[in-house]
């Protein structure tokens, strides 16, 4: 009985940790390791237990055992820490201001001005858009920079290296070292892959259903994305959500027609230039706004009347820039992870 | 205390979720599961923020027209817009970090053939000893460590042969 | 208020670094460079911009010394403090910006050879972008007066610093970067939760209004426990990122396996950015008295002492030169936290001095170790470096000077900061422990 429980627990534990054999595979006992010839085994034993001094064996045991002990300790400490952390945070939550109360300290003069004067000061109907792109625009600029950082890093890790692995070498057959003059093409270009083999993306070519759906839905998706971006200061949405929608259109296109088709207009160089330029426009526009604000110069940016498309000062162009960056970056992530290159 | 927790039930749920996420981030050995834990933690924080921004009986912070055709801009009409902005920023940060972590994990897998950082550490240090220890009596020691022994040997052999191949390739070029 | 030119310097230097980072991918790298050891065009641009930022910071420091009111605020946008973002600059920020840009410049130029050896040609433009982003985020962490802006730039800092570890080829760097990233992410999560709690109980995100609200909380007595929890979470989160001892297990791996320029930047500057943020949060948001009231200072003191001792002990046990230098960083971070933990003006001043000195010396040590190991044929073990002094004398002299400074031998820079730490310790109650640990750690360093 106890043994069965122990077995069950072990299976459950292995299943949760994900390292052990899966339950459905466990019925078949694993094959025993191939039996080595007796002499070889003897040799191994000797090398292990006789030829090495006691100290090195002790060291080896200590290294393995210490790693094991360390991992058990880590596990125990982590569980303990997390339980403590949960208790601590729950007791904190119990003392926080109540949910949905209008008298909380959060509802102070800050949001009063955002709501009451936000319309005149930023010209945006969507108060959140006005807040993140005008009142607290430095945060949002930093946020775009985070996305840019991640895009550059992922491109560096996954894209550039794969290119570096494929080396193009040219052999000049006419000047070969053996000195014999040959006929034929004077030189030969070879592309040799020295590093990891690129992953092969498995998708069915010429899938009629996928293509049919793509033809119908891609224009609709692009329209929806553009609407969300351009109406960012009037309705929920904005650069980030609209850009995410646009990137879905690109992904669908790539899946239905193949990545080669997308390469025709969107590859790595276009991606880098595109996002750098969009972010640069963002930085310059916002930089002028910061600079003029701090030095009390009239910025000359009209806020327009609230509720119209051309209102909200810089919010519309900034949303467009952010939308382009996000669309490119998210599609770039997808392409890099599934295909290995943009 | 229980009353207060029930009153602040969104925040309590968010806190429990974030602890689950943190547990996963620290405890899981599989990198993918760690990253999932990270995402759970971040999402829980957004739930916390969204709950903090809510004020009962008010609408979303987008100006609307009243009966006379004028924009309503009283504080009493809208919920707090600040947490919405913070959540937006947080989501983008979380997406970026997740993408970067997944890219690193992919490279780790290509180098070591495993998704487990500890195992990669082990492979790095014991690459050459594994052959000796594999068919010996202390297999259960490795098993306790949570590692399927044969896979590890295979991975180590592959890594070794890969490095051999790399060197061989260079010589071929020359 | 300084003159109009100096007034704009914090903003200009942040945006300069950011714009350079954005433009760098567009700069053409000359295709098929024959001499790979030469600096590429993006690297030159990066170095020029960092030098320019250093000059600007020096000008700002000069202007601030000349004028009487010592610090000023810079509105980011058209809206004043509780509504819009703000920067704030004073002599300390200007001085640290100067020190950071000098240190960054030297660790880039001093390690060109190692960079060219370790990083493949294709990755070098990306490396420049990441260095620029790191510089921008460090400057933003120095100057910002807003907690949420600080969080966003911490994230930029984290991604960029993990990426400059992983920029080196090979599995070891990737694994180290991944370990670093996981712990950093846990730290970021704690910081974010803490910011949410603080925002919830104070209703502000900028530092001065938040400080007033916190004084109000202490006076009225509501929400003191959430405040304490938020302070602890914030400190733990930042301590993970700045490698205070029990949370420093990622440091030797990341700094030891990165390329030399990355190790120098990470050890000298990235840790310091987070430490300076802790100092800023303690002084500007909470205030020294409230920190003492919530008993944060004692904890930091204890962990700082622990870090000083354990960092040195671990450093002695290492067999690789870079790992040894990396572990000694842990000990030095312990000194800095000791200064913060003393929680007096003198202690924090000593901590700032030690931040500056360590930001200078640690890159020098890493560069010198890099030079020595290059002379030994890119080997890393300590015994393999034996005799390389004769092959590369400048690196040897640099290493000796750095090591002497770390030990605190008089006439070297480390002596000044250790002396001021000791003087600060004399004024506090924890004097005996602090002195004993200082002595023990100095001996261990030697």
Interval C314-347: pLDDT, tens: 877 777 778 888 888 888 888 888 888 887 888 8
Q: CA-CA distance, A109 to C192, in Å (whole number)? A: 23
- What are the tokens at A99? 């949910």
Strand, helix or coil for residue C72: strand
Domain residue limits at A312: 125-164+207-339
- Element holding A167 (H helix, E strand): strand A166-172
Interval C187-203: pLDDT, tens: 999 999 999 999 999 88
Q: Are residues A239 and A148 in the same domain?
A: yes
Burial of C85: CB neighbours in 10 Å, binned 0-12, 13-18, 19+: buried
Enumerate the residues of chain C whose CB falls inside 8 A of the CB of residue A109.
Answer: 82
Neighbours of chain A (3+ CB pairs under 8 A): B, C
Cβ pair A279, A148 in contact under 8 A: yes
**Rounded to whole angstroms, what are the CA distances from A199 to A207, B31, B111, C193?**
21, 20, 14, 39
Enumerate the residues of chain A whose CB falls inside 8 A of the CB of residue B27.
Answer: 75, 78-79, 82
Burial of C202: CB neighbours in 10 Å, binned 0-12, 13-18, 19+: buried
Q: Are residues A231 and A324 in the same domain?
A: yes
| Contacts of the segment A74-83: beta carbons below 8 A, 24+ positions apart | A75/B27, A78/B23, A78/B26, A78/B27, A79/B23, A79/B27, A81/B26, A82/B19, A82/B22, A82/B23, A82/B26, A82/B27
Per-residue pLDDT 10s for chain A (342 aa) are 788 888 888 877 777 776 655 555 555 555 666 666 666 666 665 555 555 566 666 667 766 677 777 778 877 887 888 888 889 889 888 888 888 888 888 888 888 888 888 888 888 888 888 888 888 889 999 999 999 999 999 988 887 544 444 444 444 444 444 444 444 444 444 444 444 444 454 555 667 888 899 999 999 999 999 999 998 888 888 889 999 999 999 999 888 888 777 887 888 888 888 889 999 999 999 998 888 888 888 777 777 777 777 877 788 899 999 999 999 999 999 988 887 676
- What are the tokens at C82? 């509780």
Q: How many CA atoms lie within 13 A of C376 on its CB side?
A: 20
Q: CA-CA distance, C397 to C339, in Å (whole number)? A: 30
Enumerate the residues of chain C whose CB falls inside 8 A of the CB of residue A297.
Answer: none
Q: Are residues A288 and A239 in the same domain?
A: yes
Q: Write b or e for each residue in B130-160: b if 16 or more Cβ atoms lie within 10 A of its Cβ, otherwise e.
A: beebbbeeeeeebeebbbebeebbebbeebe
Within a domain: A17: no
Architecture of domain B1-112: Orthogonal Bundle (1.10)
What is the total count of domains within chain A?
Answer: 2
Q: Tell me, what's the pLDDT at A149?
A: 93
Kindly write down the DSSP assignment for every residue of C270-306, as one continuous string: IHHHHHHHHHHIIIIII-HHHHHHTTHHHHHHHHHHH
Within a domain: A12: no
Cβ pair B82, C84 in contact under 8 A: no
User: Which residue carries 């310097």 as its tokens?
Assistant: C9
Task: For residue A19, give the nearest of B29, B80, B134 by CB distance.
Answer: B29
Enumerate the residues of chain C whose CB falls inside 8 A of the CB of residue A96.
Answer: 197, 200-201, 223, 226
Interval B4-47: pLDDT, tens: 888 888 889 999 999 989 888 888 888 899 999 999 999 999 99
Within a domain: A130: yes
Interface test with A, best of C11, C77, C173, C188 (most A CBs within 10 A): C77
A190 touches chain B (CB under 8 A): no
Check C192 against B117: CB less than 8 A apart: no
- Show me where the domains of chain B are located: 1-112, 113-174
Q: CA-CA distance, C74 to C89, in Å (whole number)? A: 8
CA closest to B3 among chain A residues? A94
Pairing outcome for strands C72-76 and C85-89: antiparallel
pTM above 0.90, yes or no: no
**Rounded to whole angstroms, what are the CA distances from A315 to A78, A122, B127, C370?**
45, 9, 56, 49
A111 touches chain B (CB under 8 A): yes
Q: Are residues A254 and A150 in the same domain?
A: yes
Backbone angles phi, psi at B87, to 5 degrees: -60, -40
Task: Compute the nearest-CA separation of A274 from chain C (Å).
Answer: 10
Q: Tell me, what's the pLDDT at C75?
A: 83
- Length reported for chain A: 342
Check A104 against C22: CB less than 8 A apart: no
Give, to the nearest 10 degrees, the angle between helix B82-112 and helix A109-122: 90
- Show me where the domains of chain C are located: 1-282, 295-446
Strand, helix or coil for residue C8: coil
Q: Are residues A242 and A320 in the same domain?
A: yes
Task: For residue A138, give the nearest of C76, C120, C197 by CB distance.
Answer: C76
Mean pLDDT of C81-92: 85
């Amino acid at each position: 009985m106890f043994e069965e429980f122990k077995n069950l627990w072990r299976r459950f534990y292995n299943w949760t940790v994900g390292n052990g054999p899966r339950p459905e595979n466990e019925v078949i006992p694993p094959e025993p390791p191939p039996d080595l010839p007796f002499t070889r085994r003897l040799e191994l034993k000797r090398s292990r237990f006789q030829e090495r001094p006691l100290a090195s064996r002790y060291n080896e045991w200590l290294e393995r055992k210490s790693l094991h002990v360390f991992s058990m300790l880590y596990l125990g400490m982590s569980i303990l820490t997390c339980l403590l952390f949960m208790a601590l945070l729950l007791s904190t939550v119990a003392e926080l201001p109540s949910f949905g109360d209008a008298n909380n300290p959060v509802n102070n003069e800050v949001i009063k001005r955002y709501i009451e004067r936000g319309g005149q000061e930023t010209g945006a109907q969507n108060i959140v858009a006005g807040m993140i792109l005008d009142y607290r625009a430095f945060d949002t600029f930093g946020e775009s920079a985070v996305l840019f950082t991640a895009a550059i890093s992922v491109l560096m890790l996954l894209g550039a290296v794969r290119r570096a692995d494929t080396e193009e070498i040219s052999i000049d057959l006419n000047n070969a070292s053996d000195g014999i003059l040959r006929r034929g093409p004077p030189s030969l270009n070879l592309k040799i892959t020295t590093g990891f083999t690129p992953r092969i993306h498995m998708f069915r070519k010429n899938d009629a259903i996928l293509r049919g759906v793509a033809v119908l839905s891609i224009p609709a998706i692009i329209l929806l994305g553009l609407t969300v971006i351009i109406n960012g200061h009037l309705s929920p949405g904005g650069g980030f959500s609209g850009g995410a929608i646009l990137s879905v259109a690109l992904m669908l296109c790539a899946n239905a027609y193949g990545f080669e088709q997308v390469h025709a207009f969107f590859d790595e160089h276009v991606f880098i230039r595109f996002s750098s330029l969009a972010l640069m426009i963002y930085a310059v526009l916002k930089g002028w706004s910061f600079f003029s604000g701090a030095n009390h110069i009239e910025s000359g940016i009209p806020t327009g009347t609230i509720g119209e498309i051309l209102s909200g000062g810089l919010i519309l162009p900034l949303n467009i820039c952010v939308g382009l960056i996000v669309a490119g970056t998210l599609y770039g992530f997808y392409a890099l992870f599934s295909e290995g290159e943009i | 205390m229980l009353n207060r927790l029930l009153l602040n039930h969104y925040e309590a749920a968010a806190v429990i979720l974030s602890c689950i996420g943190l547990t996963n981030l620290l405890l899981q050995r599989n990198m993918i599961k760690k990253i999932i834990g990270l995402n759970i933690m971040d999402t829980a924080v957004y739930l916390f923020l969204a709950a903090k921004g809510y004020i009962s009986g008010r609408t979303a912070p987008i100006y609307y027209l009243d009966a006379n055709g004028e924009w309503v801009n009283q504080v009493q009409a809208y919920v707090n817009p600040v947490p919405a902005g913070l959540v937006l920023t947080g989501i983008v940060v979380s997406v970026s970090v997740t993408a970067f972590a997944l890219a690193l994990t992919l490279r780790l897998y290509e180098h070591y053939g495993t998704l487990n950082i500890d195992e990669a550490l082990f492979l790095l240090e014991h690459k050459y000893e594994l052959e000796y220890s594999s068919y010996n009596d202390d297999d259960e020691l490795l098993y306790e460590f949570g590692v399927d022994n044969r896979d590890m040997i295979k991975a180590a052999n592959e890594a070794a042969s890969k490095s051999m191949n790399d060197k061989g390739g260079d010589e071929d070029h020359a | 208020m300084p003159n109009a030119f100096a007034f704009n310097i914090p903003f200009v230097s942040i945006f300069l670094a950011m714009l350079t980072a954005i433009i760098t991918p567009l700069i053409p790298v000359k295709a098929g460079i024959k001499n790979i050891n030469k600096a590429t065009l993006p690297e030159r641009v990066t170095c020029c911009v960092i030098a320019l930022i250093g000059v600007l910071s020096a000008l700002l420091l000069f202007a601030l010394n000349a004028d009487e009111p010592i610090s000023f605020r810079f509105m980011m946008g058209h809206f004043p403090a509780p509504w819009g973002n703000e920067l704030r600059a004073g002599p300390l920020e200007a001085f640290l910006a100067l020190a950071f840009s000098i240190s960054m410049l030297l660790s880039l130029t001093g390690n060109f050879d190692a960079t060219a050896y370790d990083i493949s040609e294709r990755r070098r433009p990306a490396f420049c972008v990441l260095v620029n982003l790191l510089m921008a985020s460090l400057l933003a962490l120095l100057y910002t007066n807003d907690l949420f802006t600080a969080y966003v730039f911490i994230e930029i800092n984290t991604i960029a610093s993990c990426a400059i570890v992983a920029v080196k080829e090979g599995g070891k760097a990737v694994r180290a970067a991944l370990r670093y990233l996981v712990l950093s992410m846990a730290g970021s999560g704690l910081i974010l939760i803490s910011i949410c709690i603080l925002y919830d109980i104070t209703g502000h995100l900028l530092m001065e209004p938040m400080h007033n609200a916190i004084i109000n909380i202490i006076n009225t007595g509501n929400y003191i426990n959430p405040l304490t929890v938020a302070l602890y979470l914030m400190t733990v989160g930042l301590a993970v990122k700045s490698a205070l001892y029990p949370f420093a297990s990622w440091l030797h791996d990341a700094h030891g396996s990165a390329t030399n320029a990355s190790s120098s930047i990470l050890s000298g500057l990235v840790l310091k950015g987070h430490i300076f943020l802790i100092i800023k949060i303690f002084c500007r948001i909470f205030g020294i008295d409230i920190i003492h009231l919530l008993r944060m200072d004692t904890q930091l003191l204890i962990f700082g002492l622990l870090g000083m001792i354990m960092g040195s002990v671990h450093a002695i046990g290492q067999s690789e030169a870079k790992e040894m230098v990396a572990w000694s960083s842990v000990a030095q971070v312990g000194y800095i936290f000791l200064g913060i933990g003393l929680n007096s003006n003198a202690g924090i001043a000593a901590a700032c001095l030690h931040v500056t000195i360590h930001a200078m010396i640690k890159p020098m040590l890493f560069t010198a170790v890099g030079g020595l190991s290059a002379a030994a044929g890119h080997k890393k073990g300590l015994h393999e470096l034996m005799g390389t002094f004769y092959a590369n004398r400048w690196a040897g002299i640099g290493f000796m000077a750095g090591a002497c400074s770390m030990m605190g031998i008089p006439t070297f820079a480390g002596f000044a900061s250790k002396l001021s730490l000791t003087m600060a310790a004399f004024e506090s109650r924890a004097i005996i422990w602090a002195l004993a640990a200082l002595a023990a750690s100095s001996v261990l360093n030697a």
